[in-house]
């Protein structure tokens, strides 16, 4: 008999999440029916999207949403024999039973590559960077690309794919350690937005001619400043808005229309599931880039399922470099 631990949303977040908003529950899982598989979570993911989605997709008492790399430990489904690794979207839980639907098999996985990357560079965040840059920013060799939250799971991949694509890459992050990391993985310019003084000047200095592409992970005041430094026909991929996720009252900034017209800018919000039909193809490319060393991957690993809320709050505070992962 297997007991599954799960983190649930005890109370909807008001402002920044608190420990008391989460509740750990334990349930006994039923016996497997034909077609069922019992999985144990090996790695779990915390991601910024969980903050805004909590309000939209969850009610109080629900299990926290999220993905995991999981291994089949008991199986009545021939597609997933014991030992099979999958990526699932079963939320913050140690164990779960699946009927085999909505699971993603890991592609053939080289020994030296940690499987946790299936939640990062070779998973949803990597795909987000890939499709956002290629399909929304429409990068071309020679473009200058700006990315915010650049040391995060998405941002760090954005910068490295843009380099592969022959772009000049400027990254912003919130600590000197992150900035050093960005330089190390090949960013042409990087600065600490918290200590730089004038963001306007720092952006101007990093690229005096302005920016062709802006991969926006933060929104808010920062993005309003960037809007006035985009080049003619600049493209903005709006991926996230972490600066506003914990606001209780929506913040305001200058209206966007006039700068959008002057430079004929395009701005597009996107969610990576739009390209689900091209997922396999893109994952193969990302895996190859990782194997070839063209994309370096950093992980911020928290050990212990019980620390998951703390890991999530740490992510929202920007404590991680690279992908925030929980090792069960």
The answer to whether residue 250 forms part of the interface with a copy of itself (CB under 8 A) is yes
Between 218 and 321, name the residue whose CB sits nearer to a copy of itself: 218
Q: Using CB under 8 A as the criterion, what x/- string covers residues 14-53 for binding a copy of itself? A: --------------------------------------x-
Of 109 and 270, the one with the shorter C-beta distance to a copy of itself is 270
Q: Is 266 in the site for a copy of itself (CB under 8 A)?
A: yes
Of 166 and 254, which CB lies nearer to a copy of itself in the complex structure?
254
3-state class (DSSP) for residue 104: strand
Characterise 294 by phi-psi region: left (phi > 0), alpha (psi -120 to 50), beta (else). alpha
250 CA to centre of own chain:
23
Q: How many CB atoms lie within 10 A of CB 65?
A: 17
Cβ atoms of residues 53 and 72 within 8 Å: no
Q: Residue 304 contacts by C-beta under 8 Å, 6 or more apart in sequence?
A: 326, 327, 328
Smallest separation (angstroms) from a copy of itself to the CB of 10: 24
CA angle 293, 297, 302 (to 5 degrees): 155
Binding mask 210-249 for a copy of itself (x = CB under 8 A): ------x--xx--xx-------------xxxx--x-----
Q: Which stretch binds a copy of itself (CB under 8 A): 127-135, 201-209, 265-273, 276-284?
A: 265-273
SS3 194: coil
Rounded Cα–Cα distance for residues 247 and 265 (Å): 27
The stretch near a copy of itself (CB under 8 A) out of 92-100, 187-195, 250-258, 299-307 is 250-258
The DSSP bridge pattern shows strands 189-192 and 168-173 to be: parallel
Nearer of residues 19 and 257 to a copy of itself, judged by Cβ: 257
Which residues lie near a copy of itself (CB under 8 A)?
Answer: 52, 56, 216, 219-220, 223-224, 238-241, 244, 250-271, 274
């Amino acid at each position: 008999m297997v007991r599954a631990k799960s983190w649930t949303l005890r109370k909807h977040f008001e402002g920044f999440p608190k420990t008391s908003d989460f509740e750990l529950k334990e349930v006994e899982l039923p016996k497997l029916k034909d077609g069922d598989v019992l999985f144990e979570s090996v790695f779990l993911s915390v991601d910024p999207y969980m903050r805004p989605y909590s309000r939209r997709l969850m009610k109080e008492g629900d299990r926290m949403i999220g993905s995991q790399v999981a291994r089949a430990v008991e199986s009545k489904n021939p597609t997933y024999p014991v030992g099979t690794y999958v990526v699932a979207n079963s939320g913050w839980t140690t164990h779960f039973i699946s009927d085999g639907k909505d699971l993603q098999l890991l592609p053939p996985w080289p020994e030296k590559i940690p499987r946790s990357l299936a939640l990062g560079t070779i998973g949803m965040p990597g795909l987000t960077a890939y499709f956002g840059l290629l399909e929304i920013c429409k990068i071309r060799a020679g473009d200058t690309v700006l990315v915010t939250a650049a040391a995060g799971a998405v941002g760090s991949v954005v910068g490295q794919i843009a380099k592969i694509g022959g772009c000049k890459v400027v990254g912003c992050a919130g600590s000197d350690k992150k900035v050093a990391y960005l330089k190390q993985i090949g960013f042409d310019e990087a600065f600490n937005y918290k200590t730089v003084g004038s963001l306007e000047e720092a952006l101007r200095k990093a690229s005096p001619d302005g920016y062709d592409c802006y991969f926006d992970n933060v929104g808010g005041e920062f993005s309003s400043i960037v809007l006035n430094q985009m080049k003619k026909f600049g493209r903005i991929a709006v991926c996230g808005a972490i600066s506003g996720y914990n606001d209780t009252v929506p913040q305001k900034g200058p209206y966007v229309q006039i700068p959008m017209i002057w430079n004929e800018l395009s701005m597009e919000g996107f969610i990576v599931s739009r390209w689900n039909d091209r997922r396999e193809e893109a994952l193969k490319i990302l895996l190859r880039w990782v194997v070839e060393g063209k994309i370096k991957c950093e992980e911020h690993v928290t050990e212990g399922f019980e620390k998951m809320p703390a890991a999530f709050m740490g992510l929202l505070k920007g404590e991680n470099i690279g992908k925030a992962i929980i090792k069960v």
